[in-house]
Amino acid sequence: METRTKLRVAIPLAIALVTGAFINGLYFAKKADREQQEWILSMLPAQPEEGALEGRLLYAIQGAFSQIEKGEDLVAATGRLAKIYQANGYLNEAIQTLDLLLQLEPENPLWPHLLAFLLAGYGELEPAMELWERTMELDPDYLPTQLRRAEAMLKLNRYEDAEEAFTIVKIKDIENPHAYHGLARVAIHREDYEAAHQHLSRSMQYSRGSVGIQLTVTVLERLGQHDRAEAVRGMARTLEGYSDIPDPWILDLMTYCYDAHQLVSAAGTFAYAGNTEEAIRLSELAIKYDPENAAAHFHLGNMYRDSNKPKALSAFETACRLNPQLSDAWLFRALIYKEMGSMQQCDELLRQGLINCPDSPALHLSWGERLVEMNRMEEAIPVLRRSVRLRPQEAEAYLALARIYIRQSKLDLAHDITQQALEAEAGNPTALSFMVILSINKKQENEAESWLRKVELQPRCTPKMREDLKGFFQQAFGRPPKL
Amino acid sequence: MKEFSILRWLCVALLAVVLFLAGCSDPDKRRKTVQRSVGTESYTRFAKQSSRVEDLERYKAIPAGAPVGDKPWIAHVRAVDLDQDGLMDIIFCEAKHNQVNWLRQTAPEVFEEIVLAEDMRAPVHVEAEDMDGDGDLDVIVSSMSMVFPNNDLIGAVFILENQDLKTWKPHLIIDNTHRVVDARAVDFDGDGQLDLALGQFGYDQGSVSWLKRTGPWSFERFPLLELSGTCFVGVADFDHNGKQDMVALVSQQWEEIHIFLNVGQPDYHSRVIWGSTNEDYSLSGMSLGDVNQDGFMDILFTNGDGFGPNPEPGPKPWHGVQYLENLKGGQFVFRRLGDLGGAYSPVATDVDNDGDMDVVALAAFNDWKNPNSISMAWFRNDGQNQWERRILAYKPIYLMTLDVADLDGDGGKPWLITGGFHSHPPFIHQSRILLWKPELN
């Protein structure tokens, strides 16, 4: 056949093929979309009825359903629905929707991660492990998944696997405190306390002391370093707590949350992790959804305490109005006025706070301290004693009393009350320094030296405090202390 | 030429139609591709809604002992025939008033409250055993000294020596230690003397230990696990090797259950048998029972602790009741019974007397702003280990501790005994000790 004839046949044939395929594609795609949409709707949990849920949540769920019913971006709408369910605590519905998403979008690592987190939250670790492994295949660089899987291995008594998994995270992120903490747990299981101590030192170093402090005490005890253990125990009071694995995919769920209580909890988590901006955003969101939520206003005030005092005062004031029993809201308002030098307003708020919260140890303490500042010592003593009775386990009120007795030269009383402060909080730096000073004043050389040794071992005592106390000792006894 | 061209274009159009029809021959193609791409089993089996069937007439609540007073803190109740007169009694801890008390059944269903000991430093757990081998029951007291968070070494264990049912001489067994939450007597080393299993919550540090008996009222401590947050210990021969093993429920950020299998005299093989990576899982209660009646002890537990990292205590969707089924040989498998917000104090008992084990649990930290929040529920076992939640009570609220016993001695359905712990608002619907008498046949 001639080339021209060949073209005459081939061109129409090609056009026919393309047109047929195009029309076919259009028809097929539309039909498949319709069928997929019907299938999605059949697999989703039933739509909540009007009045069954709080307005905003209901609208959000209905919005996602409506998008699916219209056939608009089916996967995205289903994904949004899953996040809304999970973020607002409708976990059975979330499981059902996420299970569907695993099929709709099997290459997206987010869905198995969210479902694994949810199932592990119920205690179902085996299926969660499967899902985290799937997430890792899809996104090998998302470290929170690897850490959560490694943690789950610890819970499943798979220490060797956990060690390998934590080590991989450590290699990828050399400053990851959770990896070191996990490795420390493996080492403790093997009773290798030296290795555990090394790992914990790193986890403490890379988390500003928030990850690993609890185990550090135990490990130091095991290593026979009782003094250091005791010192770290004291430190745990200020660095108390434990931070969960930072997991942006999980934290992003809060964007879909309409429950003020959960938003406030999440804001607290962000604040703890040092992310004030996000904490403020979530607190404001909580207030938007529940303007009468005193805890949300209180949290917001807390977030603004350092950066924006007028906003902090306004938020605390609202919190006090909504819940007058929120003693810290009164206290923090008063303290802000004190920082601003408005003592009259500070005192008035402390008085109002005590009327509304007569059993608040912190308000009694602050009022007692104000009375001391106003040189009304005899009035301050019963107020501070009340604070001690209400919260005997904390040293502050004892020490405020000790300061009064020192000023009044009642050194025996000061000694006794400082001793009580140390019983309440072993290793309190101020109490230790008081004991040094009181011993020096009483010319008790050996006792002063003994207290100075405790100061040396206490990491919360600053270098300046140590040097000053050593200087007092030298002045009093004509020689440097033997430490 | 023109005819040829028309014919040609007709052919083209026909071909297009044929292709179109051919393409439509498998309309499920795309959907099947999606479904096939996973092809594994569905996770929807984990989505279970617990029922809200009411069963409010099953029990009648009868207050016993002293009046409720102001915000009682009943931390633990234990049913035991303390005076061994054939009538079941109750011993309990009043943590706020530092008391261990005895509700003595002096005649059928008549109870008299007696203070066994004061100054017990926030007692939170009591057990009764004959610790000195003189034939009567003594009382073991676990003391935290402070119920709310504190990491000081302020825990203690006392044994109240029963001298004549009127005098209970306190022996301080350990002191200046992590806060103690559970001490139970058992002969671990087979020397014929009762040792102690010890759970210490502490706060930042805590532990699980066994205490070897070294003298009439002295013990030597052997730590088995050093983690904070132990709430309960349990003792049983889980692997049927003739030796007493231990389990411990460890809360705080760990949220784990550990077993200590006694393989020597005693030498323990310890390992974690279950855990959650959810740091807010809120483990709150544990007891032992042969739930599936296969002769091997299972481990029931709840999650619902209200003292977590939240602004105020309250329920979470994952709170509930579950057990670890003992698969023999020291292996366990997790079985969820159902949801219960703020769940505490699970106990296995045959509530309906139908021959299989049901489970009763409390909802201490439920949403008490909502009057429809459950305070106590039972999980009915249909005999095939399928569980249906049934609501026993909406109030009183803040029920924290539960025990079951045949208080009237008729061998019938079990009575329930609850204690109220009112540390948080709202301070409404308060109770102290309640005896729940079975009413339905």
Does residue A241 have a pLDDT over 70? no
A144-177 pLDDT tens trace? 999 999 999 999 999 999 999 999 999 999 999 9
CB under 8 Å to A344, separation ≥6 — which residues?
Answer: none
Q: Would you call A295 and B311 a contact, using CB atoms and an 8 Å cutoff?
A: yes
Of A115, A214, A218, the CB nearest to B43: A115
Of B18, B205, B253, the CB nearest to A242: B253
Alpha-carbon distance of B50 to B58, in angstroms, equals 19
**Residue range B386-391: average pLDDT?**
96
In the prediction, which pLDDT does A306 show?
Answer: 87
In the prediction, which pLDDT does B27 show?
Answer: 45
Give chain B's length. Answer: 441
Q: Tokens standing for B337?
A: 């019974």
CB under 8 Å to A30, separation ≥6 — which residues?
Answer: none
Give chain A's length. Answer: 483
A63-90 pLDDT tens trace? 999 999 998 889 999 999 999 999 998 9
In the prediction, which pLDDT does A462 show?
Answer: 79
Amino acid at A72: E
Instruction: Check: CB of residue A28 under 8 Å from CB of residue B24.
Output: yes
In the prediction, which pLDDT does B7 show?
Answer: 67
Name the strand (E) or helix (H) holding B82.
none
Q: What is the average pLDDT value for chain A, to the nearest integer?
A: 90
Alpha-carbon distance of B435 to B433, in angstroms, equals 7
Q: Within 10 A of B54 (CB to CB), how many other CB atoms are there?
A: 13
- Structure letter (DSSP) for residue A207: T
Q: Would you call A242 and B279 a contact, using CB atoms and an 8 Å cutoff?
A: yes
Q: Shortest CA distance to B173 belongs to which of B152, B153, B188, B158?
A: B158
pTM of the model: 0.81
Q: Tokens standing for B49?
A: 């809604």
A98 touches chain B (CB under 8 A): yes
Residue with tokens 């106390």: A469
Name the strand (E) or helix (H) holding B345.
strand B343-349
Alpha-carbon distance of B343 to B360, in angstroms, equals 10
For chain A positions 407-446, those within 8 Å of chain B (CB to CB) are 424-426
B29 touches chain A (CB under 8 A): yes
Distance in Å, alpha carbon of A17 to nearest chain B alpha carbon: 6
In the prediction, which pLDDT does B31 show?
Answer: 46
Return the higher-pLDDT residue of A459 and B159: B159
For chain B positions 50-89, those within 8 Å of chain A (CB to CB) are none
Of B34, B253, B281, the CB nearest to A123: B281
Does residue A183 have a pLDDT over 80? yes
Q: Which range, of A172-186, A345-359, B259-273, averages the lowest pLDDT? A: B259-273
Alpha-carbon distance of B195 to B224, in angstroms, equals 14
Q: Would you call A16 and B150 a contact, using CB atoms and an 8 Å cutoff?
A: no
Residues in chain B with CB shorter than 8 Å from the CB of A92 are: 47-49
Work out the pLDDT band at A213, boundaries 50, 70, 90: confident
Q: Would you call B23 and A95 a contact, using CB atoms and an 8 Å cutoff?
A: no
Of B38, B272, B275, the CB nearest to A106: B38
In the prediction, which pLDDT does A476 show?
Answer: 96
Q: Which range, of A218-227, B10-19, B69-78, B147-156, averages the lowest pLDDT? A: B10-19
ipTM score here? 0.86
B303 touches chain A (CB under 8 A): yes
Does residue B2 have a pLDDT over 60? no
Q: Shortest CA distance to A219 belongs to which of A177, A240, A191?
A: A191
DSSP string, B94-141: ETTTTEEEEEEEEETTEEEEEEEES--SSEEEEEEE-TTSSSS-EEEE
CA-to-CA dists, residue B23 to A27, A338, A360, B54, B373, angstroms: 9, 79, 77, 57, 57
Beta bridge partners of B60: B437
Phi, psi of B151 (to 5 degrees): -105, 10
Q: Would you call B12 and A12 a contact, using CB atoms and an 8 Å cutoff?
A: yes
Phi, psi of B46 (to 5 degrees): -85, -5
Q: Would you call A21 and B23 a contact, using CB atoms and an 8 Å cutoff?
A: yes
Q: Which range, of A25-34, A165-174, B200-209, B210-219, averages the lowest pLDDT? A: A25-34
Residues in chain A with CB shorter than 8 Å from the CB of B145 are: none
Amino acid at B9: W
Instruction: Check the CA dihedral B267-B272-B274-B280 and report its sign.
Output: positive
Q: Would you call B205 and A124 a contact, using CB atoms and an 8 Å cutoff?
A: no
Instruction: Check: CB of residue A203 under 8 Å from CB of residue A178.
Output: yes
**CB-side neighbour CA atoms (13 Å) of B314:** 13
Alpha-carbon distance of B99 to B44, in angstroms, equals 49
Work out the pLDDT band at B241, boundaries 50, 70, 90: very high
Amino acid at A442: K
- Structure letter (DSSP) for residue A427: T
DSSP string, A171-210: HH-TT-HHHHHHHHHHHHHTT-HHHHHHHHHHHHHHTTT-
Q: Shortest CA distance to B180 belongs to which of B201, B195, B209?
A: B201
B38 touches chain A (CB under 8 A): yes
Residues in chain A with CB shorter than 8 Å from the CB of B278 are: 120-123
In the prediction, which pLDDT does A459 show?
Answer: 61
Instruction: Check: CB of residue B278 under 8 Å from CB of residue B255.
Output: yes
Distance in Å, alpha carbon of A392 to nearest chain B alpha carbon: 10
Is B107 exposed, middle or buried, given 0-12, 13-18 or 19+ CB atoms closer than 10 A?
Answer: exposed
Angle between helices A226-239 and A213-222 (to 10 degrees): 170
Q: Which range, of A230-239, A430-439, A445-454, B421-430, averages the lowest pLDDT? A: A230-239
For chain B positions 145-184, those within 8 Å of chain A (CB to CB) are 146, 150-152
Instruction: Check: CB of residue B435 under 8 Å from CB of residue B61.
Output: yes
Does residue A242 have a pLDDT over 70? no
Return the higher-pLDDT residue of A20 and A171: A171
Work out the pLDDT band at B38, boundaries 50, 70, 90: very low
Does residue B228 have a pLDDT over 90? no
B223 touches chain A (CB under 8 A): no
Q: Would you call A155 and B15 a contact, using CB atoms and an 8 Å cutoff?
A: no
